[in-house]
Amino acid sequence: MVKKTMTKKKMTKKTARPKKAKSVFVRLEDSFVGTPIKVANRTFLASLGVVATMQNELTKFQSDFEKTFEKLVKDGEKARARYRRELKGFKKDVKGFGADVREYGEELVVDVVEEVVEAKDKVVQNLRSAA
Amino acid present at 127: L
> Which residues are CB-contacts of 34 (< 8 A; sequence separation ≥ 6)?
25, 28
* Domain range annotation of the chain: 29-125
Give the model's pLDDT for residue 6: 57
What integer pLDDT is reported at residue 48 of this predicted model? 95
Q: Helices (H) and strands (E) in the chain — how many of each?
A: 2, 0
Contact 46, 55 (CB under 8 A): no
pTM over 0.85: no
Residue pair 82/74 in contact (Cβ under 8 Å)? The answer is no
pLDDT, position 3:
57
Task: Return d(Cα 35, Cα 42) in angstroms, integer.
Answer: 11
> What is the pLDDT tens value at each position of the chain, 131 positions in all?
555 555 555 656 666 666 776 676 677 777 777 778 788 888 999 999 999 999 999 999 999 999 999 999 999 999 999 988 888 887 777 777 777 777 766 777 777 777 888 888 888 887 777 76
Please tell me the predicted confidence (pLDDT) of residue 13: 62
